[in-house]
Amino acid sequence: MAIEYQTVPQIYGRLQLMIRQRGDTGFRRAVADATLQPRNPFEPATKRRPKIGLALTIGLLLTLTGIFVFFSFRGGR
């Protein structure tokens, strides 16, 4: 029985296939779990809402950006 060596592209392709077949892994899933509230197992069709801390942080940053833009481009001294 001869040993069959695999090339790097073959291993990389197999790894990508394994990752794509699993629905519980991946960058998109990790970002969604970090930014959205946990999914309700009894109501899987409902949309996940953003976490409160994230929503407040984004709102605060948008408000501060708006204030900065307003005072930066305002006509006056």
Q: Give how many domains the chain has, as a whole number.
A: 1
In 3D, which of 29, 48, 26, 51 has the Cα closest to residue 39? 48
Instruction: Write down the pTM of the prediction.
Output: 0.56
Residue 26's contacts (CB-CB under 8 Å, 6 or more residues apart) are 19
Cα(48)–Cα(29) distance, rounded to whole angstroms? 13
Residue 3 falls inside a structural domain: no
Cα(53)–Cα(35) distance, rounded to whole angstroms? 9
- The string of pLDDT tens digits covering residues 5-55 is 999 999 999 999 988 888 777 788 888 888 999 888 898 888 999 999 999
Residue 39 falls inside a structural domain: yes
- Give the domain extent around 56: 8-73
Residue 13 falls inside a structural domain: yes
Residue 27 falls inside a structural domain: yes
Cα(50)–Cα(34) distance, rounded to whole angstroms? 9
